[in-house]
């Protein structure tokens, strides 16, 4: 195994600098100790891309939990996925308890193929695990010229509106539509904040805003550890709770996976599979009009939105996903700044992976 290729260390800020390719190679090397080489490279791509886009809650900090579950055999390193209803616009993927990234990759590939053929497609997946940043799969659809909606359920971390105990997952609502210049890519948690950001704050000894979560007594807290033992709040109150129920129905109930508080928590349960469910919807943008007309109208929509009068303190109107895309381009050009403790974690993980091979 190769050691992480840190370009520089800044002792004052405890930061290490990596080129994008060096970090990608390092993370791929870690997972090559557990997965086939091609699968390891794909998982590494997903994690490093999340870091590059500024979505650190779904980046390399997730690695120790993933590798622990692989070492313990709680996640299947070489799943035999099965696709049913393969002759129509719909399909079901049984992920055979594989890594969520790989189940999602296969499911989106099925949805893309069917969406191109039939104009619209929905593929649901069961027996999966945490699949990381939903935007990963949106971009795969965009690259294929399709729009997409990506849904998943998750372990209970958020109360149904009016409750104070965990019932819903902090599942992402993710939508994308293609454009010639600026694709619309919306990827947001149905909670006030992604729970991974609370875990990251706890790992770094940082406080959190008081409107993010409740402790076990139903009281607002700025302590991330108290929040981990309590609940994260739904976005927009009953609106976020309603979206969470929608995703439980589509990704959980319809797929045959665990649902309604039954999805296992990958960070605390190292004995049972998660059985996460996903749903992937794709559509051709030329269903109702010629493709050239669609692209012209989509560009006009973006232009009109960007031409809106600016609110005080705002320099530029950005489309959903545009900021993250700019960050990723900058990271690929200039490299990434990684916390020294995460860089040391990568070195530890490479050592563990070398023993596992």
CATH number at residue 290: 3.30.1370.60
Neighbours of 85 (CB within 10 A): 14
Tens of pLDDT, residue by residue over 162-172, are 888 899 998 88
- What confidence score (pLDDT) does residue 8 get? 53
Inform me whether the pLDDT recorded for 67 exceeds 50.
yes
Spatial separation of the C-alpha atoms in residues 34 and 76, rounded to whole Å: 10
For residues 340-355, b (16+ Cβ closer than 10 Å) or e, as one string? eebbebbeebbebbee
Q: Please give the tally of structural domains in the chain.
A: 3
Neighbours of 94 (CB within 10 A): 20
Residue-number span of the structural domain to which 301 is assigned: 82-189+234-317
Same domain, 140 and 284: yes
- What confidence score (pLDDT) does residue 1 get? 43
Query: What is the pTM assigned to this prediction?
Result: 0.91
| Residue 325, in any domain of the structure | no
Tens of pLDDT, residue by residue over 191-212, are 888 787 898 899 889 999 999 9
Spatial separation of the C-alpha atoms in residues 150 and 123, rounded to whole Å: 10
Inform me whether the pLDDT recorded for 131 exceeds 90.
yes
- What confidence score (pLDDT) does residue 197 get? 86
Tens of pLDDT, residue by residue over 272-293, are 999 999 999 999 999 999 999 9
| Residue 329, in any domain of the structure | no
Mean per-residue pLDDT for 238-249? 94
> Binning pLDDT at 50, 70 and 90, where does residue 7 land?
very low
Spatial separation of the C-alpha atoms in residues 179 and 176, rounded to whole Å: 10
| Residue 326, in any domain of the structure | no
Inform me whether the pLDDT recorded for 332 exceeds 80.
yes
Report the DSSP beta bridge partners of residue 176.
Answer: 148, 185
Same domain, 125 and 178: yes
* Helix, strand, coil percentages, rounded to 5, for the chain: 40, 20, 40
Please provide the average confidence, as pLDDT, over all residues in the chain.
Answer: 93
Inform me whether the pLDDT recorded for 10 exceeds 60.
no
| Residue 240, in any domain of the structure | yes
């Amino acid at each position: 195994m190769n050691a992480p290729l840190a370009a520089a260390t800044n002792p004052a800020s405890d930061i290490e600098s990596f080129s994008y390719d060096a970090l990608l190679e390092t993370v791929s090397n870690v997972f090559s100790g557990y997965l086939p080489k091609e699968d390891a490279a794909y998982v590494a791509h997903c994690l490093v891309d999340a870091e590059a886009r500024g979505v650190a809650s779904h980046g390399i900090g997730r690695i120790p939990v993933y590798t622990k579950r692989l070492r313990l055999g709680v996640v299947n390193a070489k799943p035999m996925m099965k696709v049913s209803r393969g002759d129509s616009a719909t399909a079901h993927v049984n992920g055979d308890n594989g890594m969520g990234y790989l189940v999602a990759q296969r499911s989106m590939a099925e949805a893309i193929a069917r969406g191109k053929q039939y104009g619209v497609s929905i593929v649901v997946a069961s027996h999966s695990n945490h699949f990381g940043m939903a935007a990963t799969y949106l971009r795969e659809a965009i690259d294929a010229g399709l729009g997409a909606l990506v849904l998943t359920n998750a372990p209970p971390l958020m109360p149904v509106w009016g409750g104070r105990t965990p019932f819903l997952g902090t599942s992402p609502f993710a939508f994308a539509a293609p454009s010639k210049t600026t694709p619309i890519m919306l990827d947001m948690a149905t909670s006030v904040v992604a729970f991974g950001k609370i875990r990251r704050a706890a790992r770094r000894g940082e406080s959190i805003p008081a409107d993010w979560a409740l402790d076990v007594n139903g009281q607002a807290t700025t302590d991330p550890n108290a929040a981990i033992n309590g609940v994260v709040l739904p976005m927009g109150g009953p609106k976020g709770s309603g979206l969470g129920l929608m995703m439980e129905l589509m990704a959980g109930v319809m797929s045959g996976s665990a649902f309604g508080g039954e999805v296992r928590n990958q960070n605390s349960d190292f004995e049972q599979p998660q059985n996460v469910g996903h749903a992937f919807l794709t559509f051709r943008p030329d269903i109702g009009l010629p493709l050239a007309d669609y692209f012209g109208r989509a560009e006009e929509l973006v232009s009109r939105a960007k031409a809106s009068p600016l609110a005080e303190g705002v320099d530029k109107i950005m489309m959903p996903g545009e900021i993250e895309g700019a960050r990723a381009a900058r990271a690929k050009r200039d490299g990434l700044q990684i916390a020294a403790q995460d860089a040391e974690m990568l070195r530890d993980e490479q050592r563990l992976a070398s023993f596992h091979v």
